Amino acid sequence: MSKPAPAGSGQPPIIIPRPDHSVSRANISKNALKVLYRLKDAGFQAFLVGGAVRDLLLGLRPKDFDVATDADPDQVRDLFRNSRLIGRRFRLAHVRFGRDIIEVATFRASADEADERADVELDQHGRILRDNVYGAIDEDVWRRDFTANALYYNIADFSIWDYVGGARDIEERVLRLIGDPEQRLREDPVRMLRAVRFAAKLDFTIHDEVAELMPGLSALLGHVPAARLFDEFVKMFQAGHARRTFELLLEHGLFGRLFPETRRELDGPVAARFREFIALALANTDQRVAEGKAVTPMFLLGVFLWAPVRARAAEMLAERKMGEPQALGIAAGEVVARQQSLISIPKRFAIPMREMLALQPRFERRRGKRAMSFLEHRRFRAAYDFMLLRSRIGEVDPEVAAFWTEVQEMSGEERAGAFEVRGSSAGGKGSGQGGDQESGKGEGSKSGRRRRPRRRKRRESGD
Ligand code: ATP
Ligand code: MG
């Protein structure tokens, strides 16, 4: 295989005319087409680029449609009233159509600091911090990560321009970095994660030249801003290929750089069970995505951190006098705080995740008002799903899991019975939640211990 030519070599692209490829305008979003045509009509070059061209060639539906042009960001903004400029590392325009955003990037030139035009900044490891040098398409192409991501669909004649053998690599289903692989991974270590993500999503192989470098360079992920790693985490684990992504991260020595404490537990005393726990959660997430159901990053993050949190809680229980719920709460706080230094988890996920973990011991209590009021806890549902997963690996008694599944279906009256709550202190108001239409249905369903309260019991909301 020939190495790609150096930046700005002036080498012409292979141009694949419309009849020789499968990218059809029928599969390009209306909004992206509008942007492409408006740029073209204003006399600029306009190409669909990146993952969209790749996915269309593969017969997949692209996640988003990115546009590249020789118009500079200010010209793009002037052309689209519905646009704004964003980014520091890369300045680009977002053209907005309701909730749909088309990203329009100006062709970029080499990220060589010595370059005269440079508005570029690297850190001491060669990682790009800022990079806003505009250029021509034959310079832009060398800046992209993988050959498969470096095809340009030209709206002027519907041809595809291929400077780096991307069409062939797509056909061979291989992810190959453009240019010198080590340099490309050093300037942006996130490309290692992208390699894994695309390999999982597209069922591509990572070219040996790239794969061999990854374990040795994986430590560079430690210099990537924690907020960017969170974004990448979401892209890796919520795109419907979480299970495969996890396997590949492990295989290439990357997972431990993202979740060091989790990685350690994967070889520790509870390794087999914990691996199974993770595998079940990942499969579950992938299935939800496939069914179009909502997924939240807090659930998988909680799954990854569960074994480290338990290990820490066990230490604390051995050292000090405290109950398990308290120990879990404190341990969760500590482990999550350490994880934050690598992957910054926004508060809106970190807080509920910690709660979800710390609530686990509450499933063990199945009698009394306080136990029953757990059903009304705003984190009950997440904690319950988490507990079900724990029960599948034998960490929670199946009878306990079944109890919490059943009580959710019960009327207020039946519930009070199941929790052995006496009706006398309930205050006499009806449940008002609609649950009582079903009363009678579960008559005598639970254990013989169950007693029928004298009055319909109001649903407890915390005590
Ligand atoms: P998808 O949208 O399916 O996740 P994509 O390939 O479109 O995949 P984006 O993150 O949307 O990925 O980026 C669009 C394009 O920008 C890529 O195809 C690639 O050409 C380029 N690109 C993105 N991130 C990088 C990077 N870190 N280094 C080099 N090029 C990149
Ligand atoms: Mg994209």
Structure confidence by residue, pLDDT tens digits, 99-115: 999 999 999 987 554 45
| C-alpha 242, offset from chain centre | 8
Instruction: Report the pLDDT value the prediction gives residue 339, as an integer from 0 to 100.
Output: 97
Banded pLDDT at 192 (limits 50, 70, 90): very high
Give the mean pLDDT of 320-338.
91
Instruction: Report the pLDDT value the prediction gives residue 90, as an integer from 0 to 100.
Output: 78
The verdict on 8 and 117 lying in the same domain is yes
What distance in angstroms lies between residue 33's CA and the mean position of ligand 2's atoms?
15
Residues 6+ away with beta carbon under 8 Å from 313: 324, 327, 328, 330, 331, 332
Q: What angle is formed at CA 157 by the lines to CA 152 and CA 162, rounded to 5 degrees?
A: 25
Instruction: Report the pLDDT value the prediction gives residue 10, as an integer from 0 to 100.
Output: 66
Known active-site residue 66: yes
Point out the least confidently predicted range of 87-96, 130-139, 173-182, 338-347: 130-139
Q: Cβ atoms within 10 A of the Cβ of 69, count?
A: 27
Q: Does some domain include residue 279? A: yes
DSSP label at residue 132: -
Residue 98 has pLDDT above 70, yes or no: yes
| C-alpha 378, offset from chain centre | 24
Give the mean pLDDT of 131-160.
93
> Are the CB atoms for 44 and 73 separated by under 8 Å?
no
Give the mean pLDDT of 303-326.
92
Instruction: Report the pLDDT value the prediction gives residue 11, as an integer from 0 to 100.
Output: 80
Instruction: Report the pLDDT value the prediction gives residue 312, as an integer from 0 to 100.
Output: 95
Domain limit, last residue, from 172, 206, 239: 172
Residue whose tokens read 């998988």:
300
Q: Does some domain include residue 310? A: yes
Query: Which residue among 145, 169, 188, 286 is the active-site one?
Result: 145
Q: Give the range of the structural domain holding residue 94, as residue numbers without chain letter.
A: 1-172
Known active-site residue 145: yes
Residue to mutate, 194, 203, 232, ligand 1, most ligand atoms under 8 Å from C-beta: 194
Which CATH number belongs to the domain containing residue 328 in this structure? Answer: 1.10.3090.10
Which CATH number belongs to the domain containing residue 168 in this structure? Answer: 3.30.460.10
**pLDDT tens profile 56-91:** 999 999 999 999 999 999 999 999 999 999 987 778
Point out the least confidently predicted range of 84-88, 206-210, 362-366: 84-88
- Count of domains for the chain: 2
Q: Does some domain include residue 282? A: yes
Q: Which ligand is nearest to the CA of 60?
A: 1
Residue whose tokens read 């997924």:
295
User: Which ligand 1 atom minimizes the distance to the CA of 239?
Assistant: 4
Percent of the chain with pLDDT strictly greater than 70? 86
Q: Does some domain include residue 72? A: yes
Domain limit, last residue, from 172, 189, 212: 172
Q: Does some domain include residue 393? A: yes
The verdict on 276 and 131 lying in the same domain is no
Query: Which residue among 55, 66, 70, 140 is the active-site one?
Result: 66
The verdict on 414 and 306 lying in the same domain is yes
Instruction: Report the pLDDT value the prediction gives residue 30, as an integer from 0 to 100.
Output: 96
Q: Which helix (H) or strand (E) holds 161?
A: strand 160-162
Average pLDDT score, the chain: 88
Domain limit, last residue, from 124, 143, 172: 172
Known active-site residue 385: no
CA-wise closest residue to 270 among 393, 169, 375? 393
Residue 258 has pLDDT above 60, yes or no: yes
Instruction: Report the pLDDT value the prediction gives residue 2, as an integer from 0 to 100.
Output: 42
Write down the pTM of the prediction: 0.85
Q: Does some domain include residue 228? A: no
What distance in angstroms lies between residue 434's CA and the mean position of ligand 1's atoms?
50
